[in-house]
Amino acid sequence: MQSNSASAAASESGLDADISSLLEMLGSVGDPRRERGKQHDLAFVLAVCVVAMLSGAKGYSEIARKAKDMSPCLLAKLGAEWDWFRSAYKYPSKGTIRIVLSEIDASQMDEATGTWLCQQAAKDSQGEWEIAVDGKVMRGAWTSENDTVTLFSAMIRERGITIAQVKVPDDTNEITQAGALLDAVPIQENDPAIFTIDAAHTQVETAKAIRKRAEWHYLMNVKGNQPGLQRSVFSKVAPLTLEKPHDIMEDRSRGRLKRWSCWAAGADGIEFPDAGQAAIIIREIFEVSGAKISKEIALILTSQKEGKMTAADINYHERSHWGIENKSHYVRDTVFREDNDQTWVGEGPHALAIIRNLATSLIRLKGINAIKETVEWVAGDRVRALRFMTT
């Protein structure tokens, strides 16, 4: 029986954390290995990868080194088996980690991980889901077809939690995968959701794919890749800029003033699936002295009707959309050096990206946004990772 001091120490370290839900999710993915010669359960190998990633691992070699250096109590907590010959808990080798991640069904792993994360996020969610959709090229990783690996993902904007991701096939591009990504989003069709999308994905098929769910809506940027639509939207909203802005957002930081002015109007006459409103946003940056540094214009189209979404809402959604760059892509590149990772065999690049998303999302589920500092803190004692793996 544990003494009070031993129990308190376990609680403080995280060894008493309930990680059963996460382990069950990881174990639900199909094991690509043959039974013969298999030394570790799949859930254990993947859990080791998650802990290693939470402590800053960037690829197979670092995951293996961190696995070898994990304490017996941590390995036991993750589900390690006892090695009677060495009198120690077993840990996966670099070869085992590489085989598992390069041969695993990454699409199934992505679906299981995204669904689980969405379920955890739903516990604290209220009202409308706000989802940012964007693609990311893994610049250091190459496929067997000698092409770069591109992943297309959907992220809960405010919290920075990735809940769906698909790999873009080598012979196509992100635009063709919008339907596949939306099908992978684990949100009920009757749950209200707004999907914010950049200009590259402002496509008729994407709009239709979103709107076939009655409570799902889009907010898209319109640029020169759709010249006819761009002219229609501009003609509709440009005259409004002669009036007072319908909404203004300002942000003062680093000695500069950023101002977003928005005007919105009904989208009648604009030929685009379920178009409800068109808007124009003028983004200006000023020095403290008042001197203007830059000015940009954004054209917006949304399926939400007037009265359902205000100019202030449009301004907010457009501005917060780019959080996917800061909360997902930037973190993966700076904390986990994803663009420097040259993994290329099989499903390896995709699987590693899933674990990076999972590690980052686990931290954000605890309400923490300082990812780099948290990863460094966990690296000091890998047992601390258990605190982020609870539900």
* pLDDT for res 13: 58
Q: Could you tell me the end-to-end alpha-carbon distance of the chain, in angstroms, rounded to an integer? A: 26
Task: Indicate whether 350 belongs to any domain.
Answer: yes
Task: Indicate whether 141 belongs to any domain.
Answer: no
* pLDDT for res 172: 78
Per-10-residue mean pLDDT of the chain, 391 residues long, equals: 43 77 97 88 97 94 95 96 92 95 95 96 83 81 62 91 90 83 92 93 93 95 95 97 96 87 96 97 89 92 96 94 77 81 79 94 94 95 95 80
Task: Indicate whether 272 belongs to any domain.
Answer: no
Residues in the chain: 391
Task: Indicate whether 263 belongs to any domain.
Answer: no
Q: State which H helix or E strand residue 343 sits in.
A: none
Amino acid at 69: D
For residue 282 the two structure tokens come to: 């003028």
Task: Indicate whether 68 belongs to any domain.
Answer: yes
For residue 39 the two structure tokens come to: 């030394």
Cα dihedral sign, 71-72-78-81: positive
**CB-CB contact of 328 with 160 (8 Å):** yes
Task: Indicate whether 348 belongs to any domain.
Answer: yes
Count how many domains the chain has: 1
Range of the domain at 91: 4-106+338-388
User: What confidence tens digit (pLDDT) does each residue in 44-64 have?
Assistant: 999 999 999 999 999 999 999
CA distance 301 to 219: 6
CA distance 200 to 134: 9
Neighbours of 230 (CB within 10 A): 17
Specify which residues 298 forms β-bridges with: 281
* pLDDT for res 125: 67
**CB-CB contact of 168 with 351 (8 Å):** no
Task: Indicate whether 50 belongs to any domain.
Answer: yes
CA 149 to chain CA mean position, Å: 16
User: Residue 163: which of 112, 125, 106 has the closest Cα?
Assistant: 112
Task: Indicate whether 190 belongs to any domain.
Answer: no
DSSP class per residue in 52-82: HHHTT--SHHHHHHHHHT--HHHHHHHTPPE
* pLDDT for res 9: 44
User: What confidence tens digit (pLDDT) does each residue in 215-259 have?
Assistant: 999 999 999 999 999 999 999 999 999 999 999 999 888 788 999
